[in-house]
């Protein structure tokens, strides 16, 4: 008999097909009244497939009283209540490592784009400004190669960003709660100190309560009018209201943002600023990486039911 699995949201069609072949899959997205469905049929499910963006709350777990495993599409666990899962004996799988390359690549994209004004220059050309007689020349950008890079969070992705930045001959330091052993980059115990030192501050910590507004007005002021910030972690890690103020008042040089506090809502004050690059949370969004993430979601679930262990079990508190 096939295990009965509930899926939240929609995933890659190829993953949904594989899940439907292996399991008795039900899509919560097809239900007109999900809470009523969960109340009536929640007891049927032993597995739950979710994503970093949706997560799983304690209330959801309560609505699935026979749940044994959650397999999440993504590495971020900030929306998944790990303590509640542990308390209920529910195993959790996620997709670390397979997305390191693409998230790190996108951090470089944002750094280069905002500093070299690439998106702004593209708008300049499309508007026809390049051909307008008498118009001032396009403004100069800032050099990335050889600049000082501060990385906030030297985990799997942070390290991958550092490796790429080393290829740009950047001087690299990082901030995290503990120094990381065996890396050639200097640990900076004070985030404000790191911001003061660097030209580019790239944020790639975990999200959640522990890092909420880690980058606040004081850190932005330390970064200063020559400093750029890039966020590929979670919107919650930066005090977004303080960031908007700092950008509007030109107290920092610019920002490259893939993530926001209340996605998909982006503060409208940012739309008119040329020194800001805004992306719709696409750091892992390549065909190759999303397929690798999909494979890991499937392998975690299949591994749990066939062998009692997942390829990538999430660390439970
Ligand atoms: P990871 O290996 O667990 O690294 C997380 C890093 O954050 C660690 O170095 C950790 O170091 C640091 N950290 C945690 N709490 C901190 C704090 N309070 N202050 C300073 N540093 C802190 O995770 P990862 O795989 O690199 O992924 C990082 C995050 O990227 C994910 O959790 C996810 O939210 C985000 N992400 C975003 C996208 C996207 O599409 N934009 C894609 C993938 C991942 P210490 O514990 O030593 O402090
Ligand atoms: C996800 C992400 O693809 O992995 C994460 O934590 O933020 C992205 O890679 C996205 O959230 C889809 O759920």
Same domain membership, residue 115 and residue 32: no
CA atoms within 13 A on the CB side of 212: 5
Q: Decide if 314 is inside a domain.
A: no
Same domain membership, residue 197 and residue 135: yes
Same domain membership, residue 239 and residue 265: yes
Same domain membership, residue 56 and residue 111: no
Same domain membership, residue 70 and residue 22: yes
> Which residues have any ligand 1 atom within 6 Å of their CB?
75-76, 96, 99, 103, 153-158, 175-178, 204-207, 210-211, 214, 232-234, 258-259, 281, 283-284
- Residue whose CA is at the smallest distance from ligand 1 atom 12: 153
**H helices present in the chain, as ranges:** 13-22, 34-41, 58-63, 82-87, 100-116, 118-126, 156-167, 191-197, 217-223, 240-248, 287-307
Same domain membership, residue 29 and residue 127: no
Per-residue pLDDT of 89-104, as tens digits, reads 999 999 999 999 999 9
Same domain membership, residue 249 and residue 296: no
Cα of 232 vs centre of ligand 1, distance in Å, is 10
Token pair in block for residue 28: 């919560």
Q: Which residues contact 303 (CB under 8 A, 6 or more apart)?
A: 93, 309, 310, 311
Token pair in block for residue 108: 């470089």
Same domain membership, residue 269 and residue 153: yes
pTM, two decimals, is 0.98
Is 127 an annotated catalytic residue?
A: no
Same domain membership, residue 302 and residue 269: no
Give the pLDDT confidence score for residue 136 in this predicted structure. 81
Token pair in block for residue 251: 């107290």
Is 263 an annotated catalytic residue?
A: yes
Same domain membership, residue 131 and residue 78: no
Domain extent for 134: 100-278
Same domain membership, residue 131 and residue 64: no
CATH number at residue 66: 3.40.50.720
What residues form DSSP beta bridges with 277? 256
Q: Which residues contact 316 (CB under 8 A, 6 or more apart)?
A: 82, 83, 85, 86, 92
Same domain membership, residue 215 and residue 76: no
pLDDT tier for residue 283 given thresholds of 50, 70 and 90: very high
- Residue whose CA is at the smallest distance from ligand 2 atom 5: 74
Q: Decide if 313 is inside a domain.
A: no
Per-residue pLDDT of 114-161, as tens digits, reads 999 999 999 999 999 999 988 788 999 999 999 999 999 999 999 999
* Burial state string for 14-50 with b = 16 or more CB within 10 A and e = fewer than 16: ebbebbeebbbbbbbeeeeeeeebbeeebeebbbbbb
Q: Decide if 312 is inside a domain.
A: no
């Amino acid at each position: 008999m096939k295990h009965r699995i509930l899926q939240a949201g929609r995933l890659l069609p190829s993953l949904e097909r594989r899940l439907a072949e292996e399991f008795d899959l039900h899509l919560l997205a097809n239900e007109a009244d999900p809470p009523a469905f969960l109340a009536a049929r929640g007891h049927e499910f032993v597995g739950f497939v979710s994503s970093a963006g949706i997560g799983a709350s304690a209330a959801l777990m309560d609505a699935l009283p026979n749940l044994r495993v959650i397999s999440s599409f993504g590495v971020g666990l900030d929306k998944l209540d790990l303590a509640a899962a542990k308390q209920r004996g529910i195993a959790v799988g996620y997709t670390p490592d397979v997305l390191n390359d693409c998230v790190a690549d996108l951090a470089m994209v944002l750094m280069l784009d905002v500093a070299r004004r690439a998106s702004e220059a593209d708008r300049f050309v499309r508007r026809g400004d390049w051909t307008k007689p008498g118009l001032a020349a396009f403004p100069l950008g800032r050099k990335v190669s050889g600049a000082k890079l501060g990385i906030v969070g030297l985990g799997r992705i942070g390290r991958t960003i550092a490796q790429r930045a080393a290829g740009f001959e950047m001087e690299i330091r990082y901030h995290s709660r503990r120094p990381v052993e065996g890396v050639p980059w200097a640990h900076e115990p004070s985030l404000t100190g790191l911001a003061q030192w660097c030209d580019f501050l790239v944020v790639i910590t975990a999200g959640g309560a522990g890092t909420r507004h880690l980058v606040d007005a004081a850190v932005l002021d330390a970064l200063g009018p020559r400093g750029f910030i890039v966020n590929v972690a979670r919107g919650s890690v930066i005090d977004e209201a303080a960031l908007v103020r700092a950008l509007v008042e030109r107290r920092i040089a610019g920002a490259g943002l893939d993530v926001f506090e209340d996605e998909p809502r982006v503060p409208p004050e940012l739309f008119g600023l040329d020194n800001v690059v805004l992306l719709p949370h696409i750091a892992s969004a390549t065909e190759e990486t999303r397929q690798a993430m999909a494979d890991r979601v499937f392998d975690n679930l299949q591994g749990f039911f066939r062998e009692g262990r997942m390829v990538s079990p999430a660390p439970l508190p």
